[in-house]
């Protein structure tokens, strides 16, 4: 029975090729951070309020100056074609559109930004950029996203080199399944990610693009301040789903200090280990404007394509709706830190 995100995780594990499973599920090194991403939300207890009248509820949030129906964003994850070979990111975008979620398309998507835009024009689409040594390639990727109606440019800054994905080394993706991302031509794909990326580059991207820039992969208040000073309109507090530097702090634990540093100036988004509506509620209570959800959407795609991804998002949203009612915060924007505290059981 598929009634929770954990049910989708189990079902996806049964259905996926072992190499794809290692790629989707794995983290870096000892996977301490991977495990802690989920555990960190469980270390927070909710302090619910009663008798506030919760029959009318509103999950709406304001994000980058726009009203959104709810705070859930599909995180940029590479190669959706491994889960849904026919439709890839188009299936994901359909699921996002059906649930009024934002979908963030990765630089390493299996479907190009244009084809996703053409197939699902009604989806709210963000584009995630990895910056390459050849800045011409990066500019071209941004130009394509702008032309194709993407709303936001998310620049990921926590992957100057790849983390030590040991599961992937032990169980590689079989060569018949591996295929180059379609967002780039093969020549573009060969251009390597720039390990010399600096804040001045963020400033330059922010100045050059007409899209609002969000910097993804921030874990400290110092870097959040630098992002704001570089012209970013938001940051994603993220450790890349535990796939980069192992033993980094979780998004949940890093979030409050980042919100305190820049929350008044720019929008703070958080990701990593969001698996329940109560996790989303805790993130909002700590000051996040929105959350990104990575692996669960891939599990949905793997189990039942677009319908599976849609169901995963529906489950999360219906859990959030129930959590708002039961916590006595009928409007998501009313949540504040009085609703959460350290869990006595942790």
Ligand X SMILES: Cc1cc2nc3c(=O)[nH]c(=O)nc-3n(C[C@H](O)[C@H](O)[C@H](O)COP(=O)(O)O)c2cc1C
What is the bridge-based pairing of β-strands 66-68 and 61-63? Answer: antiparallel
Tokens of 254: 């890093």
Residue 21 Cβ vs ligand X, minimum distance, rounded to whole Å? 10
Per CB under 6 A, 37 contacts ligand X: yes
Helix residue ranges, H only, 1-154:
5-15, 18-25, 32-42, 89-98, 113-119, 135-147
Q: How many residues does the chain have?
A: 346
Q: Is 272 in the site for ligand X (CB under 6 A)?
A: yes
Residue 273 within binding range of ligand X, rule CB under 6 A: yes
CB atoms within 10 A of CB 31: 19
**Interacting span for ligand X (CB under 6 A) from 90-98, 166-174, 185-193, 271-279:** 271-279
- List Cβ neighbours of 254 (8 Å cut-off, separation of 6 or more): 218, 219, 220, 237, 239
**Least CB distance to ligand X at residue 51 (A):** 34
Contact status: 106 vs ligand X (CB under 6 A): yes
- Alpha-helix residue ranges (DSSP H) falling in 230-294: 251-262, 277-285
C-alpha distance across the termini of the chain, in Å: 30
Residue 133 gets which letter from DSSP?
S
138 binds ligand X (CB under 6 A): no
Residue 21 corresponds to which tokens in the numbers above? 């499973």
**Which residue's beta carbon is nearest to the bound ligand X?**
294
Question: Is 294 an interacting residue with respect to ligand X (CB under 6 A)?
Answer: yes
**Are 258 and 220 in contact, with CB atoms under 8 Å apart?**
yes
Can you tell me the distance from the alpha carbon of 99 to that of 21, in angstroms, rounded to the nearest whole number? 26
Q: How far is the CB of 189 from ligand X (least distance, A)?
A: 13
Q: Is 179 labeled as catalytic in the residue annotation?
A: no
Task: Determine the 3-state secondary structure of 182 from DSSP.
Answer: coil
Between 166 and 334, whose beta carbon lies closer to ligand X?
A: 166
Q: Which of 78, 232, 252, 327 binds ligand X (CB under 6 A)?
A: 78
In the complex with ligand X, the residue whose CB is nearer, 238 or 278, is 238
Binding ligand X (rule: CB under 6 A), the pick from 8, 24, 127, 299 is: 24
Q: Would you say 10 or 47 has its CB closer to ligand X?
A: 10
Q: How far is CA 54 from CA 86, 232, 243, 303, in A?
A: 43, 36, 39, 34
Single out the residue of 241, 256, 277, 305 in contact with ligand X (rule: CB under 6 A).
Answer: 241
Count of residues near ligand X by CB under 6 A? 24
Binding of residue 101 to ligand X (CB under 6 A): no
Judged by CB under 6 A, does residue 112 bind ligand X? no
Find all residues with CB under 8 Å of 203, minimum gap 6, and list them.
230, 231
Q: Which of 142, 252, 293, 317 binds ligand X (CB under 6 A)?
A: 293
Tokens of 180: 């180059």
Nearer to ligand X, 35 or 330 (CB): 35
Is 234 one of the binding residues for ligand X (CB under 6 A)? no
Residues marked active site are found at: 240
Site for ligand X, rule CB under 6 A: 23-24, 37, 75-78, 106, 108, 128, 156, 216, 238, 240-241, 243, 271-274, 292-295
């Amino acid at each position: 029975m598929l009634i929770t995100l954990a049910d989708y995780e189990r079902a996806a594990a049964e259905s996926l090729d072992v190499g794809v499973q290692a790629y989707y599920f794995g983290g870096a090194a000892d996977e301490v951070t991977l495990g802690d991403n989920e555990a960190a939300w469980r270390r927070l207890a909710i302090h619910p309020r009663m008798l506030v009248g919760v029959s009318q509820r509103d999950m709406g949030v304001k994000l980058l100056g726009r009203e959104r129906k709810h705070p859930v964003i599909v995180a940029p994850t590479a190669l959706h074609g491994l889960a849904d070979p026919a439709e890839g990111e188009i299936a994901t975008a359909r699921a996002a559109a059906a649930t009024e979620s934002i979908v963030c398309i990765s630089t390493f998507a299996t479907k190009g930004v244009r084809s996703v835009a053409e197939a699902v024009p009604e989806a709210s689409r963000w584009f995630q950029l990895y910056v390459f040594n050849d800045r011409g390639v990066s500019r071209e990727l941004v130009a394509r996203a702008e032309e194709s109606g993407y709303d936001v440019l998310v620049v990921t800054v926590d992957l100057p080199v790849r983390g030590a994905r040991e599961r992937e080394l032990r169980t590689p993706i079989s060569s018949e399944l591996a295929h180059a991302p379609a967002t780039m031509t093969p020549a573009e794909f060969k251009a390597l990610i720039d390990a010399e990326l600096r804040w001045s580059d963020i400033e330059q991207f922010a100045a050059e693009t007409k899209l609002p820039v969000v910097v993804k992969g921030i874990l400290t208040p110092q870097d959040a301040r630098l992002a704001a000073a570089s012209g970013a309109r938001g940051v994603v507090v993220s450790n890349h789903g535990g796939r980069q530097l192992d033993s980094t702090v979780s998004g949940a634990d890093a979030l409050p200090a980042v919100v305190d540093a820049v929350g008044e100036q720019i929008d703070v988004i958080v990701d990593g280990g969001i698996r329940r509506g109560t996790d989303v509620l805790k993130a909002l209570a700590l000051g996040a404007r929105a959350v990104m959800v990575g692996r669960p959407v891939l599990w949905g795609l793997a189990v039942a394509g677009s319908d599976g991804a849609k169901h995963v998002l529906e489950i999360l949203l219906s859990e959030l709706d129930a959590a708002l009612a039961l916590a006595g915060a009928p409007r998501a924007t009313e949540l504040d830190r009085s609703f959460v505290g350290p869990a006595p059981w942790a």
